[in-house]
């Protein structure tokens, strides 16, 4: 798991954003299962209500959820972690980075559509500008083929 840079030791945060879809929890479970495969990530934290949960330090640990429960979550419609439509600006991102530093978050996975993709981009760019080492990933939650720079999205092979 690398974007050309060294793998960072630390924790991962996963958030779900935008409108809930029938497959948004499939995306969540896919990220959790992949991160549990020995990536060096210590904790997998789900943030309640996306970026608004981050600034409230409102997390649930996901790394030890049993596989059968993850399967039930994957097949449940709606957003298991809760959603938000907050779109962070520079000040909002400063609050995110403060929490990320306290929680040693080095990986940020943001599940959603176009606005969520843009939020992920904003967080990534501001992290870079502030010298905070973070790997940010947008994870599609729907069958949107209009998402920028995506080869394919869930349900559309």
d(CA 33, CA 70) in angstroms, rounded, equals: 9
Catalytic residue selected from 58, 115, 144, 151 = 144
4 alpha carbon, distance to own chain's centre: 19
What beta strand segments (E) does the chain contain? Answer: 10-16, 41-47, 59-61, 105-112, 135-140
d(CA 141, CA 74) in angstroms, rounded, equals: 12
H or E segment to which residue 78 belongs? none
112 φ/ψ sector (left φ>0, alpha ψ -120 to 50, else beta): left
Closest CA to 23 of 148, 112, 118, 116: 112
Active site residue 118: no
- Which residues are known to be catalytic? 144
């Amino acid at each position: 798991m690398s974007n050309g840079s060294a793998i960072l030791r630390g924790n991962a945060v996963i958030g779900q954003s935008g409108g809930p879809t029938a497959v948004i929890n499939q995306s969540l479970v896919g990220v959790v299962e992949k991160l549990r495969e020995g990536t060096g990530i210590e904790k997998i934290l789900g943030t309640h209500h996306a970026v608004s949960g981050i600034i409230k330090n409102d997390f649930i640990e996901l790394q030890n959820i049993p596989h059968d429960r993850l399967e039930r979550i994957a097949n449940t419609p709606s957003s298991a972690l809760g959603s938000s439509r907050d779109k962070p600006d520079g000040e909002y991102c400063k609050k995110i980075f403060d929490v990320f530093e306290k929680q040693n978050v080095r990986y940020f996975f943001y599940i959603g559509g176009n606005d969520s993709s843009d939020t992920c981009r904003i967080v990534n760019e501001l992290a870079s500008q502030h010298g905070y080492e973070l790997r940010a990933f947008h994870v599609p939650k729907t069958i949107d083929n209009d998402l920028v720079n995506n080869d394919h999205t869930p349900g559309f092979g």
